[in-house]
Amino acid sequence: MSNNKKLEAVFTRAANNLVNNGLNYESDIQSAITEMEDGQKFTMGFNITLDLEKNKLSTKLSWSKKYAICSDSEIPDPDQTELQFEVLSPTEEE
């Protein structure tokens, strides 16, 4: 149980909004998940915004498919001379 009743009420209302919005858009979310391709990541986000001057609570549920291209390499050492490699064209075998 929280010591701050107002903050507890904010969390309770936000949690209810999350569940209700998630259920209201369940088919849209499921369609987006179903359409995903290999290598894609599906992200869901939930935001709570408080406007204290207007005593207003806003929540936002968002979802998206994400693509990521990753590259790994060593961190270059500026004191080390980098070797230049010749790029060779592929050759055809006979």
Between the CA of residue 86 and those of 8, 47, 80, 83, what are the distances in Å? 64, 51, 19, 10
Q: Quick one: average pLDDT of 58-72?
A: 80
Residue 39 placed within a domain: yes
Provide the residue range defining the domain that includes 35: 5-66
Question: Tens digit of pLDDT for each residue in 16-32?
Answer: 999 999 999 999 999 99
How many Å apart are CA 68 and CA 56, to the nearest integer? Answer: 36
- State if pTM tops 0.85: no
How many Å apart are CA 63 and CA 45, to the nearest integer? Answer: 6
Residue 43 placed within a domain: yes
Residue 1 or 47, more confident: 47
pLDDT of 13 reads: 95
pLDDT of 41 reads: 85
Structural domains counted in the chain? 1
Q: Quick check: helix, strand or coil at residue 36?
A: coil
Which of 72, 44, 73, 71 lies closest to 60 in space, CA to CA?
44
